[in-house]
Amino acid sequence: MTISNQIGTEVFLFTIILFGSCGKSEQQIREEKYQDIKQKEQQLKLANDSAISLLNQKYNAISGWDSLEMFSFQLQEMFVDQRRPISFEGRILDIIKSDSTYLLKVYRSTWYFPPKDHLALISISNAMFPRLKKMLKPENNFIEGCFVFDVSSITSLSPKLSSDLVNGEDSYSYLDFDFESTLLIFKGDLIDFHLDQSAVFDNEWKPSRR
């Protein structure tokens, strides 16, 4: 094939592709974009699940504890008395600097009855904190991950934030107790962690939250 024929063939193919793409409807373009997002989302979920599984295996951490109907003393025996690391998956609510360490506040909730909320107050050393800080993105404040840590204490509360409405507006809020729900607070020292990949990468798309 001569150079002129090759160029002509390439132009012809480019024209077909161009007209083919122009012929797509907006609905088709949206559908293709949606399928691409779902595919990327599934890939990230598989990557996260695999990384969390390896993390738990590495430290022999207990996962799935929140799906069991257990009293607080049973959790205390499992994690505090037996000194087994916990695998705690949740959302980072806040990070606080305190003297020579940092404190992570991580939250997760279950929909079992009676409902239970879980809050982890995890100390992270200055040596480990730069690794976490490097992964944080200022434009993304919804950061989820798995945190493996040694549990030093577990406490149980039944708080509920209530408010009084005046003319349909919240006049003031106060904390009372709801004995049908429970807040379990875990305290301990961080061993290792994995952040969901959607929090690490610059997102051109927003995956749905678990």
Q: Which residue bears the tokens 């209530």?
A: 162
Q: Which residue bears the tokens 């699940």?
A: 49
Whether residue 208 lies inside any domain: the answer is no
pLDDT (average), residues 130-143:
83
Whether residue 99 lies inside any domain: the answer is yes
pLDDT digits (tens, 9 = 90+) for 19-78: 555 556 788 878 878 888 888 888 888 889 999 999 999 999 999 888 777 888 999 999
DSSP for 103-125 reads EEEEEEEE-SSS-EEEEEEEEEE
- CA–CA separation, 13 and 6 (whole Å): 11
Whether residue 5 lies inside any domain: the answer is no
Whether residue 110 lies inside any domain: the answer is yes
Query: In CATH, what number is assigned to the domain containing residue 169?
Result: 2.40.50.140
The domain containing residue 190 runs over which residues? 32-200
Identify the CA nearest to 118 among candidates 181, 48, 57. 181
pLDDT at 135: 87
The CA angle 154-53-138, to the nearest 5 degrees, is 75
Number of domains in the chain: 1
Q: What stretches of 1-92 show up as alpha helix (H) in DSSP?
A: 3-22, 26-59, 72-75
pLDDT at 210: 42
- CA–CA separation, 59 and 23 (whole Å): 55
- Name 97's Cβ contacts closer than 8 Å, sequence gap at least 6: 103
Whether residue 18 lies inside any domain: the answer is no
